[in-house]
Amino acid sequence: MNNTNRDSITLPSELGREKAVLSLAEKWGADAFRDSDGTKLSDEIINSGRDIYSTLCLVRADQEWARAHPEQTACKFLMSRSLAARGETLEVEPMSTYWSDCYVPDTRKESFAYWEVMDRTEASLLSPAAWNYDAKSGTVTISGTKKGHLYTVSFMVRLIWDITSRHNYITNNWTGEHIMAVDPSYPETYKHLMSYFDKWLEEHPRTSVVRFTTLAYHMPSDCDQDGKKGVYADSYGYTDTVSPPALAAFEEEFGYRLRAEDFIDQGYNNIVDRVPAKRYRDWMAFTQKRVERYARDLTGKAHAAGKRTAFYHGDHWIGMEPYKPGFKDAGFDIVIAVPHSEVTIRRLTDGPGNYVRELRMRPYFFPNELGVMDPAKNSQQIWAKLRRGILRNPIIDRIGWGGYLSLALEYPHFIEHITGLCDEFRLIKAKTQREKPVSYFKAAVISAWGKLRSWTEWSIEGEKFGSTENATMTLECLGGLPVDVEFLSFDDIKAGGIPEDVKVVINSGDAGTAWSGGSYWQDSEISATLREWIAGGGGFVGIGGASAREFQGRIFQLGDVMGIEKETGNSNHCARVPCSETGEHFIKMDAATPVKLGTERSFVSLRDRTAKVLYANENHVLMSASEYAGGRAVYIAGLPYTLQNARLLLRALLWAGREEDALKKCFSINQLTDCAVYSNAGIMAVANNADSHQSTTVYDDCGNSHTVQLAPYEIKWLNLKKKAYKVGRKGAKSVVA
């Protein structure tokens, strides 16, 4: 049976399989088709009466131009590996650990002037007179070296292979030519791209939506010398936006000259986890403005041509972060994201702007994604997590898929599953009418980045240790909770303190990273403001390396507030404060046994006898709760995402914020379920996040309880009593649909 309701679904087309594509589009109720990078739409599709999304990556669209202007690609700084001097000279081949297919050393005079040689053993910059580069052999010869010292060469390269093109070569065995992307920071190229786009618009009369991918600068991703394996990648990095004209313009605007080291960052490349330096943030601000101008020029042209515009948040974030001031002015009508978890959903839905929000769902219809496990099961698990986020702010407008639709034909039950998913998605839209459900209160997540990196997730595979207490795990737990969330930077706190409507502050992440805050915790204004705010009645939830910065006898700068301290080997001879678990506490009232907090050895010990240990492994405190003057604080050693840990976090937030009574309303007792109450719509969603049958008791917005039975992953909609009934009989059951 085909769906007569064409609404909210975008599907990819597939050349030669138009019949199958159209049949699935009918079945799932698709109202739009899209092409992909490298595929074209046939007339059969174009004429099917649906919207047409056409993909455009302008910076790599005209290879002829690119090859005619190879010096007008983006550049970046790379660091050679560290080499030790064993005599008075040292030869370094800067490119030896990089793949020469991707990069060419940039020896133009204005680029070469940025090259640097550093003595990493004494953190000193060598005079240009102390080294020499032989372009023919690709070798830097350093003279006057010190024995046993490590030296690195920071050098500029031109990016001669677009990263998406390279990715398809490596991962998908594409064998076409190496695509080169040009850099709009060159005025000549900028002008060319604009006229190319004018022509493109003319040539695409049937296109309803121009879908921009890799708008200007690709996210950084470096290959090692074998070209097999990425050595570094960062969705949020700004390193691949360098060029001589941009650097010169920066110097003009900001009044100082950047150095290679500002990008190299001791080899950390200003990865998003680093506490960002002022100079790097200046570069970001500079680049955001120029990308914004470029985006406005393009969206303006598209609108003038009567088309809508879509921005694909994937390989390109630079200057286009949805929480960046001015993002909504860039002129995009649609923003498309690939959602990994609740975190992506919250990022998309909590952000400002009235654009259409569209999800490019997983799994992609590629053999490597559909074939790995039962695709329906895989999709259902992902969807359950996304739905948690969507229910918190149901303003996702559209969903869609990518890849080869025909592959789905091999999995009939998967087709049925997608049919149901599309219907469920449309039902959520219809029931909730974009209403934000009841939330308990507002929490603030504080980090060095603040708002710009709201709901940031690690989407890159290849993290060395997924098991560190990273901030994303906390956000996954948080993303499905009925709590409003604001992201604050430490600079925000310095400028304006904690906003009045914030009940609880969350600080989570590895010690010494941008997420927990690192050096910011040595700033007396930060720790004093927070301490005083908590003492005055605020709540604090610290996770992992919360407030960690070794300073003045403390690792945790709010350790006095939390009643704990981290042991790093400098105070092992201090005796233990006896560490025994508190049997009963609001926070652990319905906790799983045993709790799994991702670590057994936190090296955190109790420091204040009045603090309560909720969970411990021998002397390692895993979770604690403390009263601090008028406020409260909770410490959690780690919080990997599970539904149980999400519940623990909810309870920690409620306890810290003195909002324990919140659970008497708008609450589903069973931890594997969620509920969301939409007062205006007079409706309540109860969702089963588990793949087994679940029973739960839910409380509506009046505190009335009702028992609900849910099939695996089922969502049920209960009608709320009319507001007038609020004054009715205590404990009365709500009327259920």
Q: 464 or 730, CB closer to a second copy?
A: 464
Q: Does 397 bind a second copy (CB under 8 A)?
A: no
CB of 82 to a second copy, least distance (A): 6
CB 495 within 8 A of CB 486: no
- Residue 590 falls in the annotated catalytic set: no
CA separation for the pair 672, 687 (Å, rounded): 9
Q: Does 509 bind a second copy (CB under 8 A)?
A: yes
Q: Which range of residues in 106-114, 134-142, 404-412, 521-529 is near a second copy by CB under 8 A?
A: 521-529
Q: Does 273 bind a second copy (CB under 8 A)?
A: yes
CB of 458 to a second copy, least distance (A): 7
As given in the structure block, the two tokens for residue 684 are 């309540």
CA separation for the pair 455, 433 (Å, rounded): 24
CB 28 within 8 A of CB 14: no
User: What is the b/e burial string over 590-629, where b = at least 16 CB atoms within 10 angstroms of the residue's CB?
Assistant: ebeeebebbbeebbbbbbbeebbbbbbbebbbbbbbbebe
Catalytic residue among 35, 273, 315, 350: 315
Q: Does 513 bind a second copy (CB under 8 A)?
A: yes
CA separation for the pair 114, 260 (Å, rounded): 6
Q: Does 624 bind a second copy (CB under 8 A)?
A: no
Q: Does 96 bind a second copy (CB under 8 A)?
A: no
Instruction: Identify the burial level of 81 via C-beta atoms within 10 angstroms of its C-beta, where 0-12 means exposed, 13-18 middle and 19 or more buried.
Output: middle
Q: State the CB neighbour count (10 A cutoff) for residue 431.
A: 16
Q: Does 229 bind a second copy (CB under 8 A)?
A: yes
Q: 445 or 591, CB closer to a second copy?
A: 445
CB of 377 to a second copy, least distance (A): 25
Q: 276 or 363, CB closer to a second copy?
A: 276
By CB under 8 A, the residues from 627 to 646 that bind a second copy are: 629
Q: Does 146 bind a second copy (CB under 8 A)?
A: yes
Q: Does 91 bind a second copy (CB under 8 A)?
A: no
As given in the structure block, the two tokens for residue 305 are 């041509």
Look up tokens 């089922």; give the residue: 714
Closest residue by Cα to residue 150 from 218, 66, 92, 231: 92
Count CA atoms within 13 Å of residue 215 on its CB side. Answer: 30
Among 511, 663, 675, 708, binds a second copy (CB under 8 A): 511
CB of 411 to a second copy, least distance (A): 32
Q: Does 576 bind a second copy (CB under 8 A)?
A: yes
- How many DSSP H helices and E strands does the chain contain? 18, 36
Q: Does 282 bind a second copy (CB under 8 A)?
A: no
Q: 304 or 574, CB closer to a second copy?
A: 574
Q: Does 550 bind a second copy (CB under 8 A)?
A: yes
Q: Does 574 bind a second copy (CB under 8 A)?
A: yes
CA separation for the pair 321, 377 (Å, rounded): 32
CB of 190 to a second copy, least distance (A): 30
CB of 237 to a second copy, least distance (A): 8
Look up tokens 């909210």; give the residue: 8
By CB under 8 A, the residues from 110 to 129 that bind a second copy are: 118-123
Among 36, 63, 82, 705, binds a second copy (CB under 8 A): 82
Helix axes 471-479, 375-392, angle to 10 degrees: 80
Among 255, 553, 594, 731, binds a second copy (CB under 8 A): 553
How big is the site for a second copy, counted in residues (CB under 8 A)? 77
Residues sharing a CB contact under 8 Å with residue 196, sequence separation 6 or more, in sequence order: 58, 61, 62, 65
Residue type (1 letter), 289: K
Among 333, 423, 567, 627, binds a second copy (CB under 8 A): 567
What's CA 175's distance to the chain center, in Å? 31
Q: Does 369 bind a second copy (CB under 8 A)?
A: no
Among 464, 500, 593, 594, binds a second copy (CB under 8 A): 464
CB of 568 to a second copy, least distance (A): 6
CB of 469 to a second copy, least distance (A): 8
| Strand pairing class (548-551; 502-509) | unpaired
CA separation for the pair 1, 156 (Å, rounded): 59
CB 405 within 8 A of CB 20: yes
CB 291 within 8 A of CB 215: yes
Among 1, 129, 495, 575, binds a second copy (CB under 8 A): 575
CB of 169 to a second copy, least distance (A): 17
Q: Does 529 bind a second copy (CB under 8 A)?
A: yes
By CB under 8 A, the residues from 579 to 608 that bind a second copy are: 599, 601, 603, 605
C-alpha distances out from residue 222 to 49, 154, 592, Å: 43, 15, 42
Q: Which range of residues in 32-40, 229-237, 399-407, 589-597 is near a second copy by CB under 8 A?
A: 229-237
By CB under 8 A, the residues from 187 to 216 that bind a second copy are: none
By CB under 8 A, the residues from 239 to 268 that bind a second copy are: 265-268
SS3 of residue 279 by DSSP? helix
Q: Which range of residues in 17-25, 45-53, 334-342, 544-552 is near a second copy by CB under 8 A?
A: 544-552
Based on its alpha-carbon atoms, the radius of gyration of the chain, rounded to whole angstroms, reads 27
Residues tagged active-site: 315
